[in-house]
Amino acid sequence: MKFEYAPAPESRAIVDIKSSYGLFVGGEFVDPVDGHRFKTVNPATEEVLAEVSAAGPRDVDAAVQAARGAYTRTWQRMRGAERAKYLYRIARIMQERARELAVLESIDNGKPIRESRDVDVPLAAAHFFYYAGWADKLGYALSGREPRPLGVAGQVIPWNFPLLMLAWKVAPALAAGNTVVLKPAETTPLSALLFAEICQQADLPPGVVNIITGAGDTGRALVEHDGVDKVAFTGSTEVGKQIARSVAGSGKKVTLELGGKAANVVFDDAPIDQAVEGIVDGIFFNQGHVCCAGSRLLVQESVAEDVLSRLKYRLTTLRVGDPLDKNTDVGAINSAAQLERIRELSAVGEAEGAQRWSPPCELPERGYWFPPTVFTGVSQAHRIAREEIFGPVLSVLTFRTPAEAVDKANNSPYGLSAGVWTDKGSRILWMAQRLRAGVVWANTFNRFDPGSPFGGYQESGYGREGGRHGLEAYLQ
Amino acid sequence: MSDVTPRLAVQKTYKLYIGGRFPRSESGRSYQVSDATGRFLANAAMASRKDVRDAVVAARKAGPAWSGASAYNRGQVLYRVAEVLEGRRGQFVDEVVAAEGLSVGTATSLVAAVVDRWVWYAGWADKLAQVVGSSNPVAGPYFDFTVPEPTGVVGVVAPQSSSLLGLVSVLAPVIVTGNTAVLLASERRPLPAISLAEVLATSDVPAGVVNVLTGRTAELTPWLAAHMDVNALDLCGLTDTALAHAAEEAAADNLKRVLRPSTADPDGRAEPDWSAEPGLERMTAFIEHKTVWHPVGI
């Protein structure tokens, strides 16, 4: 059965993208001093959206100085209740401008408007609302310790959830009394620059939030800057390790939220239709550009055939295409470089002997696209079972006993998330205890909330974001 | 005629403590340990890279049972350590006097504090989760909670100067939460650590939960810091900032959690005040928070 939908595009008219953007330093947009300009494109069309500044070392220094000045003069000395009200203001303005943020996010990132509208933006606003309430209650956050802010936080975020990752970083930092210099990802700077405008609208004191755009060099200069007291990074494990090395001996406090290769474990007594929805949500949400994506499906042998046939049928109903269409399920791959990596690892999957399958699906001619893909016959040694692909590619493995499921699930240097699908309550808790992962979703997947701590074990990084635990990362 | 020869004391051979056994270093090396006045005390085993690796294997092997034990059980085991230690206070007073050059009076109260520290940490075993864990009120029909879990195998560089109280103050918080430990004893004052291992071996602490190595800190730390099956490091006892820096860099290869050397004074040389109540920091440095979600519905 094939469902036909009429196009239902969200209007782009609501966003006003400038032709060129400066850096947001000390409450103003300024031209880079020793940086250069680069372009950000719409990955769904390859259309150039705007020219953005890449901050050079002196620009980074100016931003850190601005943050330091705001920290010592204003923010650290402000009563928590007043800091709280600024954060509440920001949350409210984000809600007021939600549609604009969502459209801009989808244009710059390629993610479906359904997700930016229903997940990214509401959750980002909720993060500010949640942490606002902590700003005047810090004394209750730490057991037996006096809460003191750290100073200037240097924050580097990825391109998969640009605004949401900004909220995860900025909201707790500000609530705790720190000031920030944030670098959004090179390919998705626009929502952070719109957030800078929101800070202006909220009358946030200049220098409390500074946003510097750029690529890896800018991020490195920020992380290694002597004036930074705290480093928070979300991104690849490879870069996370570089950061851990570069801050060694500096005394800087660090939190790292890195890669993953999550096992999504389906037992034979699971509600199969719900599990199939969970598998789809786990790996095809946000084109699989999710560090906690359920990229390894572990399905019990006795139901493997049934689960796979229902999964494949479900994938034929996924709509891949225009991110701004409200019916779109899977949008564009964020960049040419990422598309290349997904293609390369998928080719390796085939070369190593796994069977590749994708639903029949027409991809747009322009832009960066990759169809939802399932690999079966995957062994634990295959690269597609070990390495993070960060795309809409699912590797399927099977198991017979719960103990085998645990062994296979934990056979990874990562440890960010895991899923369990079973109708048996005691088995859920038994599995949850044994899975070496920071987040375990049982009979659900890819759920997020500002009040729910998130972060990894092992090489998925350290520290938690969200909840009271996330606040601790920004307090001494 | 009575024998006028004075009785010759039986001297102890101080060996390593790995996997519940007391082996010599596989390298066959030892080094001289002197008391605070420079008088020869004993030859301690000089552990090698291979000993570090054996200790990590033992610690990894002990992990599942120890972390899987109930918190109540771990608390009782730690309390048992205090009980056994209490009965051997005299021996440890002598050891601390010899190692640290303290007066008998000071050493006596220090050893009492050591026993009390085990009791203090024993009590945390089944309480920490209630203090640092949480139930999370998420905006949706889900039950969502966060619990602390042990990080895994923790490499501990014990304090160089406080050979017993400092040692226990870094070891107990690592194991009470379910981690297993590979501990490098104070280089110049290693003997109390090995005597403590004898207490642990007879206190229901399962084999491999604590492994004690004696030897050169500068030789052993880099192997421990770079070992890919070690999950975390407590660098407390590193007085050399270059060595601490290098250890932290090596730790990045598998993203070990690192508790840096204390910076009680600006040079980072002074040890923390071990007589003060510890706080949670040394426990929370070596736990992971796991968040579990489940839908609510009928």
Q: Would you kindly state where each structural domain of chain B is located, as residue ranges? A: 42-295
Gap between the Cα atoms of A6 and A277, Å rounded: 24
Confidence of residue A66 (pLDDT cuts 50, 70, 90): very high
> Cβ of B127 under 8 Å from any chain A Cβ?
no
- Judged by DSSP in three states, B291 sits in strand
Q: Are A398 and A441 in contact (CB under 8 A)?
A: no
Contacts of B140 in chain A (CB under 8 A): 447, 449
Q: What percent of chain A lies above the pLDDT cut of 90?
A: 97
Task: State whether B255 and A241 contact (CB < 8 Å).
Answer: yes
- Output the pLDDT for position B269: 53
- According to DSSP, the residues that pair with A17 across neighbouring strands are none
Catalytic residue among A105, A186, A257, A472: A257
Contacts of B249 in chain A (CB under 8 A): 245, 248-249
Task: State whether B255 and A461 contact (CB < 8 Å).
Answer: yes
The whole-angstrom distance between B150's CA and the closest CA on chain A is 10
User: pTM for this one?
Assistant: 0.96
Interface predicted TM-score (ipTM) of this complex, two decimals: 0.97
> Cβ of B292 under 8 Å from any chain A Cβ?
yes
Task: State whether A413 and B254 contact (CB < 8 Å).
Answer: yes
Task: State whether B249 and A458 contact (CB < 8 Å).
Answer: no
Catalytic residue among A291, A292, A459, A472: A291
- Is residue A257 annotated as part of the catalytic site, yes or no? yes
pLDDT(A1) > 70: no
Task: State whether B291 and A249 contact (CB < 8 Å).
Answer: no
Sign of CA dihedral A191, A194, A200, A203: negative
> Cβ of A177 under 8 Å from any chain B Cβ?
no
- According to DSSP, the residues that pair with B34 across neighbouring strands are B40
Q: Round the average pLDDT of chain B to a whole number and report it.
A: 95
Would you list the DSSP string of B185-199?
PPSSS-HHHHHHHHH
Buried-state track A368-378, b at ≥16 Cβ within 10 A, e below 16: bbbbbbbbbeb
Extract the tokens encoding B88.
């051997």
Tens of pLDDT, residue by residue over A342-356, are: 999 999 999 999 999
Would you list the DSSP string of A239-274?
HHHHHHHHTTTT--EEEEE-----EEEE-TTS-HHH
- Output the pLDDT for position B264: 46
- Output the pLDDT for position B263: 62
Would you list the DSSP string of A312-337?
HHHHHT--BS-TTBTT-SB---S-HH
pLDDT(A174) > 70: yes
Partner residue facing A469 (CB), from B139, B231, B289:
B289
pLDDT(A436) > 80: yes
Rg of chain A taking only CA atoms, in angstroms: 22
Task: State whether A442 and B293 contact (CB < 8 Å).
Answer: yes
The whole-angstrom distance between A48's CA and the closest CA on chain B is 37
Task: State whether A452 and B291 contact (CB < 8 Å).
Answer: yes
> Cβ of B289 under 8 Å from any chain A Cβ?
yes
> Cβ of B270 under 8 Å from any chain A Cβ?
no
The whole-angstrom distance between B289's CA and the closest CA on chain A is 6
φ, ψ (nearest 5 deg) of residue A18: -75, 160
The whole-angstrom distance between B292's CA and the closest CA on chain A is 5
B42-295: CATH number: 3.40.605.10
> Cβ of B145 under 8 Å from any chain A Cβ?
no
Tell me which residues of chain B have a pLDDT lower than 50. 264-268
Tens of pLDDT, residue by residue over A68-102, are: 999 999 999 999 999 999 999 999 999 999 999 99
Q: What percent of chain A lies above the pLDDT cut of 70?
A: 99
Contacts of B64 in chain A (CB under 8 A): none
Gap between the Cα atoms of B59 and B56, Å rounded: 5
Neighbours of A424 (CB within 10 A): 13
Return the residue matching tokens 């579990």.
B292
Q: Are B162 and B271 in contact (CB under 8 A)?
A: yes
> What are the distances in angstroms from CA B218 to CA B47, B157, B194, B195, B242?
12, 10, 19, 23, 10
Gap between the Cα atoms of A14 and A116, Å rounded: 15
**Helices A162-175 & A121-132 angle (0-180, nearest 10):** 0
Contacts of B135 in chain A (CB under 8 A): none
The whole-angstrom distance between B175's CA and the closest CA on chain A is 18
Gap between the Cα atoms of B52 and B50, Å rounded: 5
- Output the pLDDT for position A5: 84
Contacts of B257 in chain A (CB under 8 A): 462
Tens of pLDDT, residue by residue over A239-296, are: 999 999 999 999 999 999 999 999 999 999 999 999 999 999 999 999 999 999 999 9
Mean pLDDT of A108-123: 98
Task: State whether B290 and A437 contact (CB < 8 Å).
Answer: yes
- DSSP character at residue A457: S
The whole-angstrom distance between A24's CA and the closest CA on chain B is 32
Residues 385-444 of A with CB under 8 A from B: 413, 428, 432, 437-444
Q: Are A215 and A54 in contact (CB under 8 A)?
A: yes
Residues 17-76 of B with CB under 8 A from A: none
Contacts of A249 in chain B (CB under 8 A): 241, 244-245, 248-249
Gap between the Cα atoms of A132 and A82, Å rounded: 10
The whole-angstrom distance between B245's CA and the closest CA on chain A is 5
Task: State whether B138 and A143 contact (CB < 8 Å).
Answer: no
Gap between the Cα atoms of A308 and A324, Å rounded: 30
Partner residue facing A459 (CB), from B151, B254, B289:
B254
Work out whether strand A36-42 and strand A47-54 pair parallel, antiparallel, or are unpaired: antiparallel
Task: State whether A244 and B131 contact (CB < 8 Å).
Answer: no
- Output the pLDDT for position A143: 78
Partner residue facing A245 (CB), from B142, B252, B292:
B252
Tens of pLDDT, residue by residue over B57-100, are: 999 999 999 999 999 999 999 999 999 999 999 999 999 999 99
- Output the pLDDT for position A467: 98
- Is residue A199 annotated as part of the catalytic site, yes or no? no
Residues 244-303 of A with CB under 8 A from B: 244-245, 248-249, 251, 256, 258
Would you list the DSSP string of A147-168?
--B-SEEEEE--SSSHHHHHHH
B250 sits in the region (left: phi over 0; alpha: psi -120 to 50; else beta) called alpha
Neighbours of B28 (CB within 10 A): 9
- Output the pLDDT for position A408: 98
